[in-house]
Amino acid sequence: MATAERRDAVVIGGGIAGSSLAAALAGDGYDVLLLERQTVYRDKVRGEVINCWGVVELLRLGLERQLLDAGGTYIDRFIGFDEIVDPETARANALHLDEMLPGIRGVLDVGHPEACEALATAAAEAGATVVRGIGDVTVTGGPHPSVRYEYNDIEYEVPCRLVVGADGRTSTVRRQLGISLTQTPPNSLGGGMLVEDLHEWPANVTSIGTEKDLLYFVFPRAGAKARLYLLHDVAQKGRFAGPTRQADFLKAFQLDCIPHSEMFATASPSESCAFYPMNDAWTDGPVVPGAVLIGDAAGWTDPVVGQGLSIALRDARLVWEALRSSGAWSPQILKPYVDEREERMRRLRVSGAVRTAMNMTFTPEGAARRKAYAKAWPTDPVLAGSRLATFQGAFGVPDESFHPGTIQRLLALG
């Protein structure tokens, strides 16, 4: 075994959260080692939208340029094409995403592999040591943290001041540190597919809506590309599976509520078309002596609200600011991160539950409630809060929006 010099931080996981934190810490002059299993970031069905409040975090981390250079695109309009509204009314009621938060140009859509590559490169350019293609990892927390990892058939041991677990939903760091994870049963099943040659879709417009027994999402990207998503009830497991899944997926996207939806028939699909359970998960506390979890490793919200990348960036920024504020990297200095994350994730879970109830109640009663909500929320900031939190952030809307009584009032509409 080779023993390396002591580092300030060893970050395990070179995704959005881990690479962002590594870049920020290295930029401050800390000695950072970033470890990643993949030698090449592969296209999977992962989050590709940074909502407005996440863009704020990206700017505070100083990493906006890297994602724009990686093909990121600002989207400044949201149009909710839906079976309950005619297309012209939907267009007239478009949300101006460039007006959600001061100085923020909208939501930023970016390919997940491209974003990871750009952020890992930013970490290296800031001075972090980035090692990709590692094998098994063993972590030790406590007063003398350390990380063992395998690379090119050699095992290395690295003592450090802090271990950062940013290794995703199935985090081995979380398991080795003995941090428990609570998960809800699936709320729905959701799948996505990247398409090209979608020339008719406006490059600055994102859309979400319901028709019959499907909830759809369109997140455009530069170059006539878009990531398309479909969500359906868990009872329909396997609906989009097998050798015709790409064709079936695009056929289902030819929805009556979307103008000229025949455009999807001529789009070029990617090979990656997969469905996953959509649920919530959380840890009792993402900090233990000698270690901290960020991003999905620390728990996630139902992807139905598309908050994963924004959550990852907020986690990275809060941990970075806590560490740079103190010479003693103790659990105590990370308590504000723990407390803020707990409440942030609780509120976003409420937003996810509201969206699922509103957009995935595939009944006449559900449609009536959705229609009543569409009429009520624009003039009621409290009722609007759980919806607008997805753009403005969990703390950018009235606290009352997340109270049980408000949710009961909302679900009683129609």
Which of the pair, 364 or 42, is modelled with greater confidence? 364
372 contact partners, CB below 8 Å, separation of at least 6: 413, 414
pLDDT computed for residue 131 by the predictor: 98
Q: How far is C-alpha 297 from the chain's CA centre?
A: 12
Strand partners for 146: 140, 159
Sheet containing strand 107-109, edge to edge, reads 49-50, 107-109, 73-75
DSSP result, 3-64: EPPPEEEEEE--SHHHHHHHHHHHHTT--EEEEES-SS----S---EE-HHHHHHHHHHT-H
Q: How many CA atoms lie within 13 A of 288 on its CB side?
A: 20
51 contact partners, CB below 8 Å, separation of at least 6: 107, 306, 307, 309, 310, 390, 391, 393
CB 174 within 8 A of CB 183: no
What backbone phi and psi angles, to 5 degrees, belong to 232?
-145, 175
Cα–Cα distance, 54 to 111 (Å, whole number): 15
Identify the residue whose tokens are 């759980």.
386
Reported as a single tens digit per residue, the pLDDT across 63-78 is 999 999 999 999 999 9
Reported as a single tens digit per residue, the pLDDT across 196-233 is 999 999 999 999 999 999 999 999 999 999 999 999 99
Is the pLDDT confidence value at 85 over 90?
A: yes
Q: How many CA atoms lie within 13 A of 74 on its CB side?
A: 15
pLDDT computed for residue 284 by the predictor: 86
Mean pLDDT in residue range 85-99: 97
pLDDT, averaged across the chain: 96
Could you tell me the pTM of the whole model?
0.97
Distances (CA, A) of 214 to 15, 108, 121, 353, 399: 30, 25, 38, 16, 31
Reported as a single tens digit per residue, the pLDDT across 321-348 is 999 999 899 999 999 999 999 999 999 9
DSSP result, 162-210: EEEE---TT-HHHHHTT--EEEPPPSEEEEEEEEE--TTS-TTEEEEEE
Q: How confident is the model at residue 414 (pLDDT cuts 50, 70, 90)?
A: confident
Reported as a single tens digit per residue, the pLDDT across 36-63 is 999 999 887 778 999 999 999 999 999 9
pLDDT computed for residue 360 by the predictor: 97
Cα–Cα distance, 356 to 337 (Å, whole number): 28
57 contact partners, CB below 8 Å, separation of at least 6: 310, 313, 314, 316, 317
Q: How confident is the model at residue 296 (pLDDT cuts 50, 70, 90)?
A: very high
pLDDT computed for residue 120 by the predictor: 98
pLDDT computed for residue 271 by the predictor: 80
Considering only CA atoms, which of 271, 275, 255 is closest in space to residue 263? 255
pLDDT computed for residue 281 by the predictor: 98
Reported as a single tens digit per residue, the pLDDT across 161-202 is 999 999 999 999 999 999 999 999 999 999 999 999 999 999
- Rounded to the nearest 5 percent, the helix, strand and coil shares of the chain are 40, 25, 35
For 317, the 3-state DSSP assignment is helix
8-state DSSP, 143: T
pLDDT computed for residue 231 by the predictor: 98
For 232, the 3-state DSSP assignment is strand
Q: What percent of the chain has pLDDT over 90?
A: 95
Q: What percent of the chain has pLDDT over 70?
A: 99
8-state DSSP, 124: H
pLDDT computed for residue 1 by the predictor: 62
Strand partners for 196: 268
pLDDT computed for residue 272 by the predictor: 84
